[in-house]
């Protein structure tokens, strides 16, 4: 973390516990203090500020930002009952997020060693590792059980639909939805976890964790498209930096406060890796509609070759099967519907299962798969449209189970001095 020189930002109103201050403490400053008395310690030295993603700007980070290696995603319920408390929370979160993404401790100033730390400290000495913190507002934010808690129910964007029940959904109790989400991404797992943990801590009394998920991606260690745990390249059809803008950023078709925002759909998709690993390579390729190694659409030579969905083989069967994943997902087969996929693999350990179908077995099975996240300008013409059909006939469904589901309206970026979601409350 660098020296605290962040004097331009008003100290957090939640700094009631201490002399508004950063986690800091000179060598041995706390030495031998058996009684708690306030001590003031100098700040940390300033490392070079490498690996910093911008926090302020027209758009929130973590959406079109090139993927980092680690994800820590958290969905919160709100305990706050007053509009002013929610605004205070968003101010505090914005302030802390702007600091954390710069490699600073969550809260500014000088540490009072007789108070709890203002930052838990496990990334002291590290650069920001390209940390981004992306905030989204779920349906429960606007109204909960029909109650307009914060006077914003009328501002819920039409595009922030309640996701329907999709065919095959097996959502785990308590692991979906939420009022506000924070997507933390960084090139280091400890940095991502640390950042969201600080935000959860300073929200005490106003927000409570509902569900969380960590993830990983080799995206920035590899040339080209990274692979998912099924061994296939994942994201070939994503828009590129030149085309992504109109796909993800909301315009004036919705409420003014969401212009330059985006809509996130998150789905935790458990994958039966043990079954998948026993399928023939040709069957795996027909399931995806792509060659496993090259990523080329079946019938083509290279990953980015255009799929020929009309091609048939000598028997008259489709070269890219009718239920192949890429046929169902391709914009050309969905009236141009396009989304930006930004997914991480996840690994939640392993659980005991007893299976009553081939290959019959009982034992430990991975609780692993894909934490699918996508961004789009309007989920009604994006994820919902695409997945309604896919959930019914995609060949991949034999191996996947959607166990978590959520949708969030991610407001636009902000300028220094503003807070995330300010336009929602103040225009």
Footprint on residues 278-337 left by a copy of itself (CB under 8 A): 278-286, 291-294, 296-303, 311, 313, 315, 317, 319, 321
d(CA 293, CA 300): 13
Position among 7, 146, 221, 354 found at the interface with a copy of itself (CB under 8 A)? 221
Rank residues 41 and 269 by Cβ distance to a copy of itself and give the closer one: 41
Q: What DSSP assignment string belongs to 149-166?
A: TTS-GGG--TTSPPPPPP
Q: Is 353 in the site for a copy of itself (CB under 8 A)?
A: no
Residue 335 CB, shortest distance to a copy of itself, in Å, is: 26
d(CA 261, CA 133): 14
Q: Is 98 in the site for a copy of itself (CB under 8 A)?
A: no
Alpha-carbon distance values, 177 to 100, 111, 406 (Å): 25, 36, 4
Q: What are phi and psi of 77, to 5 degrees?
A: -90, 155
Question: By CB under 8 A, which span of 105-113, 148-156, 396-404, 417-425 interacts with a copy of itself?
Answer: 105-113
Helix ranges (H only) for 71-164 are 83-100, 139-142
Contact 409, 261 (CB under 8 A): yes
Question: By CB under 8 A, which span of 32-40, 95-103, 373-381, 413-421 interacts with a copy of itself?
Answer: 32-40
* Cross-strand pairs, 350: 366
Position among 41, 152, 185, 266 found at the interface with a copy of itself (CB under 8 A)? 41
Letter string b/e over residues 102-131, b meaning 16 or more CB atoms within 10 A of that residue's CB: bbbbbbbbbbbbeeebbbebebbebbbbbb
Rank residues 256 and 293 by Cβ distance to a copy of itself and give the closer one: 293
Rank residues 15 and 260 by Cβ distance to a copy of itself and give the closer one: 15
**Four-point Cα dihedral 79, 122, 404, 377, nearest 10:** 80
Q: Is 355 in the site for a copy of itself (CB under 8 A)?
A: no
Position among 53, 69, 92, 107 found at the interface with a copy of itself (CB under 8 A)? 69
Q: Is 189 in the site for a copy of itself (CB under 8 A)?
A: yes
Residue 129 CB, shortest distance to a copy of itself, in Å, is: 7
Question: By CB under 8 A, which span of 25-33, 154-162, 329-337, 383-391 interacts with a copy of itself?
Answer: 25-33
Position among 210, 267, 327, 342 found at the interface with a copy of itself (CB under 8 A)? 210
d(CA 282, CA 292): 9
């Amino acid at each position: 973390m660098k020296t605290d020189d962040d004097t331009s930002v008003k100290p957090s109103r939640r700094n009631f516990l201490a002399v508004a201050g950063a986690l800091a403490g000179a060598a041995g400053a706390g030495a031998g203090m058996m009684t708690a008395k306030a001590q003031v310690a100098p700040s940390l030295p300033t490392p070079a500020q490498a690996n910093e993603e911008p926090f302020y700007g027209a758009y929130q980070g973590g959406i079109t930002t090139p993927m980092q290696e680690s994800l820590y995603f958290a969905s919160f319920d709100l305990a706050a009952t007053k509009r002013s408390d929610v605004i205070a929370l968003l101010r505090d979160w914005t302030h802390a997020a702007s600091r954390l993404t710069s490699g600073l401790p969550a809260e500014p100033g000088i540490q009072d060693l007789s108070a709890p730390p203002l930052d838990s400290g496990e990334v002291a000495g590290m650069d920001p590792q390209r940390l981004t913190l992306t905030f989204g507002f779920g349906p429960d934010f606007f109204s909960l059980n029909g109650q307009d808690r914060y006077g914003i129910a009328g501002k819920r964007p039409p595009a922030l639909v309640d996701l329907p029940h999709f065919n095959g959904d097996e959502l785990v109790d308590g692991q979906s939805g939420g009022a506000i989400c924070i997507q933390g991404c960084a090139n280091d797992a400890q940095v991502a976890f640390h950042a969201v943990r600080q935000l959860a801590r300073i929200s005490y009394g106003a927000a409570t964790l509902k569900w969380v998920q960590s993830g990983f991606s080799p995206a920035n260690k590899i040339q080209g498209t990274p692979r998912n745990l099924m061994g296939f390249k994942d994201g070939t059809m994503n828009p590129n930096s030149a085309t992504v803008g109109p796909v993800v950023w909301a315009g004036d078709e919705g409420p003014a406060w969401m212009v330059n925002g985006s809509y996130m759909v998150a789905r935790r998709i458990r994958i039966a890796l043990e079954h998948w690993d026993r399928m023939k390579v040709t069957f795996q390729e027909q399931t995806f509609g792509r060659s496993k190694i090259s990523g080329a659409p079946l019938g083509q030579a290279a990953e980015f070759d255009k799929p020929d969905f009309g091609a048939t083989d000598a028997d008259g069967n489709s070269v890219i099967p009718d239920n192949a994943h890429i046929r169902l997902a391709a914009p050309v087969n969905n009236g141009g519907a396009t989304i930006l996929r930004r997914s991480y693999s996840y690994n939640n350990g392993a659980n005991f299962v007893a299976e009553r179908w081939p290959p019959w077995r009982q034992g430990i099975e991975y609780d692993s798969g894909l934490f699918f996240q996508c961004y789009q300008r309007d989920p009604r013409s994006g994820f919902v449209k695409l997945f309604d059909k896919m959930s019914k006939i995609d060949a991949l469904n034999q191996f996947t189970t959607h166990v978590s589901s959520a949708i969030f309206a991610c407001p636009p970026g902000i300028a220094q001095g503003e807070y995330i979601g300010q336009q929602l409350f103040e225009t």
